[in-house]
Amino acid sequence: MASAYDDRPAGERSADGRPVSELISDALQQFSRLVRNEMALARAEVSDKAKQVLRGGAMLGVAAAFALPSLFILMLALAALMVEMGLAASLAYLVTAIIGFVIAAALVKIGLDRLKAEALIPNRTMNQLNRDAATLKERM
């Protein structure tokens, strides 16, 4: 509150008696604190997303280690069945290999779709930044 000895013109003080320079200083400090908080939120969210990708990759690696030998034996059994049904051995192995490649291509496509950049965007941080921007626009 302005004292009786405050000889500054009324235009240099706010409605509550605080100098304009103090109000600007407070606004800059609040803005700085807001930016730091948003950066911390973004860092935490990106860290969570990175951990999610690493865990998913590790699980895929372990699954592949178990699935590949089983798949190989299953494909050999399929080829042997085709040979028993009267198909030439070379043709039975070729048909089995083609089936294996089709399955592998489908799995690669699914895996790549799940690793697209859209799945890794820090959505919470983006939403918070949009809300902050809207709040700033309202107040200006």
Q: In tens digits, what is the pLDDT along the chain, a chain of 140 residues? A: 445 445 555 555 566 777 888 888 888 888 888 888 888 887 888 888 888 888 888 898 898 899 889 989 999 999 999 999 999 999 999 999 999 899 989 988 988 887 777 766 777 777 877 887 787 777 76
pLDDT at 74: 92
The predicted model scores a pTM of 0.45
pLDDT at 1: 46
Closest by alpha carbon to 83, among 64, 96, 67? Answer: 96
| Interatomic CA distance for residues 72 and 79, integer angstroms | 11
Secondary structure class of 3 (helix, strand, coil)? coil
Q: What percent of the chain has pLDDT over 90?
A: 24
User: CB-based contacts of 111: which residues, under 8 Å, 6+ apart?
Assistant: 60
In this structure, are residues 34 and 132 in contact, taking their beta carbons and an 8 Å threshold? yes
* CA 11 to the chain's CA centroid: 49
Count the neighbouring beta carbons within 10 Å of the beta carbon of residue 78.
16
Q: What percent of the chain has pLDDT over 70?
A: 86
pLDDT at 18: 79
Secondary structure class of 1 (helix, strand, coil)? coil
Compute, in degrees rounded to 10, the torsion defined by CA atoms 38, 42, 45, 50. -170
| Interatomic CA distance for residues 54 and 48, integer angstroms | 10
pLDDT digits (tens, 9 = 90+) for 1-22: 445 445 555 555 566 777 888 8
